[in-house]
Structures are given as C-alpha cells and as structure tokens.
Amino acid sequence: MTESRTTAAHGGAIGLHGIKKWFGNFQAVDNVTLDIRPNEFFTLLGPSGCGKTTLLRMIAGFEMPTEGQVLLDGSDISGLLPNQRPVNTVFQNYALFPHLTVAENIGFGLKMLGRPKAEITSVVNDMLKLVHLDGRGHNPVTQLSGGQQQRVALARALAPRPKVLLLDEPLSALDLKLRKSMQIELKRLQLETGITFVFVTHDQEEALTMSDRIAVMSAGTVRQVGSPWDIYDRPAERFVADFIGETNFLSADVVSVADNRARVRLSSGAEISASFPADVTPNGSVTVVVRPEHARAGAPTGTSALRGVVHDIVYLGTDTHVHVRLDDGTAFMVRQQNARSGHCGFSKGDTVGIDFSDDVAQILRD
C-alpha cells in the first residue's frame, strides 16, 4: 500500500470540513469533509460535473463555500481572498504571458510580491533547473512546445514556495506520450519541493500513476478516499469499481459468511469465496466484482466458475481483451498479456471456461 509522507518543511495540511456549495438551485458540492496531509500528492478524481474543480477553486479562494470551512495548517482561510492564501494554482491553459520571456514569466509572481531583484534571479535560475529548462530563460514562451510551456507554468507557481500547489487538469491538452512523461515529472517535482499538491483530473491512469491518495467524487460527494491500491483493488462501492479502470460485475447469492469472507453462489451454479468491505453485511443477492486481469480463460471444464462464448477480441499491443458472453447473458472481459506471437489463442465463437482465484473477488456496496 502506498503511504504518503506525513511531514514537510512547508506544512500544507488542508482540512475541508462540511463543505457545501450552491450555485442558485444547483448543489455542486454536498457536505464534503477531507483531510489532505502535508507533503502529499492528493488527487480529486471524478467525471465531469462531479464538483472536483469547484472544490479546488474553494481551496484557492476563487469560490467561497456556501457552508463549511477550509483550513490550512489548522487555520480557517475560508474568508481569505486568493492573494491572501499561501496557495498557487496551475490551470489547464497555463495562462502564461506571451509578451514575456520564460524567465520573466517564472519571476512574475515574485516581482508582484516585491522581492529583491537578486532573489528573483536566483529563484528563477533554481526553477529553470528544477523543470529542466536550463538555458531557456531568455526565450519567448511562444517558442516553446506545449510540454515546455506547462513546465514554465509549474515553475512560476512553485517559485514563491507556496504551502499548497493546486493543479486543475494541467495535462489534458498534451498528447498521450508527453502526458505520460509529464506525469513522472509532476511526481518528481512534488517530491523534490516537498509542497502539498492537490491535483484535479478525470483521467484514472493519471490519478493512479501520481497520487499518494485519491478521493473519488460523484455528484458533489466523495465516494471513497484511499491509496491507488485501495481504490483499484478494494473499491468500496459499485460506482468506484466501475469508474476506475475496467471491471466485471457478477450477480450472486450469499451462501455463508465467516472470517470476513463470504461464500457466494454465481448464476452458473459455481460457488466461490469473496471478500467484502468492513461496512457491508453480505446477505441475500449481492454484486461481486472481478477485474479482467485477474480472470483466466481456457477450455471449459466441469470445475469452471463461468462459461460463455467469445464474441469479440481486441488486440492492444501489450495485452488482449477477450470479451465473453456468459451463459446467463452477462458480459465478461478477460485481459491477458500478449505472448510474442500476439495471438490470444481464441477465436470469435469459441466456447470458453473462466476461472479466477478466491482472493480476487469482492462483494460491493451498491
């Protein structure tokens, strides 16, 4: 399990207590309480319209809560203006000044704070090294690539040494390869600076790659908070399991419960063991989740947990997705890593059996 760091020279612990936000008759955020630790890379993850950006804007001071408190290192900052908070924001469009050089952009915030010229020069040079743009300080920002412009925006936000850096989907405008590279860079910057990062994204891979902890949001509420491992391998409810990655949902009936595990009977008649969250009391009909990479497809046998017919095969280079229509009509996907030949061993129309270990199945809270 990923453990976040608990100490930092800058502090940066954020407390969101009972936060509600209304825009007219629309409630964008509904009673959110979160504690973000110092020196943590914390991600707000969810679909468009779930309230994650509104929450970020309330930490920044661009929006005020209708109810609740925003705390920074234990002090209530809910009523402070953005320029009164030791918090900086990197936006999706970077918001660089096109008429200024790279160095002038990075030093702009320090200049507005009235810092001495020698200090500004020293900090700008440090920032250029930090974001790997040494020697580019005199270049106009308009001559930089999208990835380089994003680094300038990060350097400008980091230059005043804020306690918290807020990032509002800053990678969404980049192409796939550059976006993956910048994910590594962002995590490196957070580790090297020791600043608390709060990152907003709808991209599950981004969240899993960079975060110490993730808060999954839906309809203005937080559905689960945990490490990337918690969120992916131990989702607390159906929404989280469905939103994070790809997964399979199976209907089952509980046969017995013992030692924090349940024995359930699948629609195929096979019985398997499944775990369940601490706040769930499994009884009656339940939903069981199995990730595609945890399942195995092969020739059907009398002991196969599931049985069905292959109706689609999707080759993705590193792996292949085998889509199976189970005997009860349920769709099920098996993800298997590709061998050198690149052939998964199945064809459309094949009848297959599906098996998985007991320790990968989990009962969900609906």
Tell me what pLDDT residue 225 has: 96
Please give the Cα distance from 189 to 295 (Å, whole number).
37
Q: Which of 53-62, 88-97, 325-334 has the lowest mean pLDDT?
A: 88-97
Taking residues 8-25, report their average pLDDT. Answer: 85
Q: Are 79 and 235 spatial neighbours (Cβ–Cβ below 8 Å)? A: no
- Rounded to the nearest integer, the mean pLDDT of the chain is 88
Tell me what pLDDT residue 284 has: 84
Q: How far is CA 357 from the centre of its chain?
A: 27
Q: How do residues 31-81 score in pLDDT, each as one tens digit?
A: 999 999 999 999 999 999 999 999 999 999 999 999 999 999 999 999 999
Q: How do residues 188-231 score in pLDDT, each as one tens digit?
A: 889 988 899 999 999 998 999 999 999 999 999 999 999 999 99
More confident position, 177 or 58: 58
Q: Is 253 helix (H, G, I), strand (E, B) or coil?
A: strand
Classify residue 267 as exposed, middle or buried by CB count within 10 Å of its CB (0-12, 13-18, 19+).
middle
Q: How do residues 235-247 score in pLDDT, each as one tens digit?
A: 988 999 999 989 9
DSSP secondary structure code for residue 269 in this structure: S
More confident position, 331 or 316: 331
Give the torsion sign (CA, 220, 222, 228, 229).
Answer: negative
**Lateral strand order in the sheet of 164-168:** 87-90, 164-168, 196-201, 41-45, 213-218, 221-226
Q: Which of 157-166, 169-178, 313-322 has the lowest mean pLDDT?
A: 169-178
Q: 3-state SS string over 169-217?
A: CCCCCCCHHHHHHHHHHHHHHHHHHCCEEEEEECCHHHHHHHCCEEEEE
Beta strand spans in the chain (E): 14-23, 26-36, 41-45, 67-72, 75-76, 87-90, 164-168, 196-201, 213-218, 221-226, 248-258, 261-266, 271-275, 285-290, 295-298, 306-315, 319-326, 331-337, 351-356, 362-363
Q: Which of 16-20, 38-42, 292-296, 354-358 has the lowest mean pLDDT?
A: 354-358
Taking residues 140-166, report their average pLDDT. Answer: 88
The gap between the terminal CA atoms of the chain, to the nearest Å, is 25
Tell me what pLDDT residue 366 has: 65
Q: Are 14 and 23 spatial neighbours (Cβ–Cβ below 8 Å)? A: no
Per-residue exposure over 39-56, b if at least 16 CB sit within 10 Å of its own CB, e if not: bbbbbbbbeeebbbbbbb
Task: Pull the structure tokens for residue 2.
Answer: 């990923």
Tell me what pLDDT residue 150 has: 84
DSSP secondary structure code for residue 293 in this structure: G
Tell me what pLDDT residue 4 has: 33
Please give the Cα distance from 360 to 310 (Å, whole number).
22
Taking residues 268-274, report their average pLDDT. Answer: 88
Tell me what pLDDT residue 341 has: 65
Please give the Cα distance from 306 to 294 (Å, whole number).
14
Which of 287, 291, 299, 284 lies closest to 357, judged by CA? 291
Taking residues 343-363, report their average pLDDT. Answer: 86
As a whole-number percent, the residues of the chain with pLDDT over 70 amount to 95
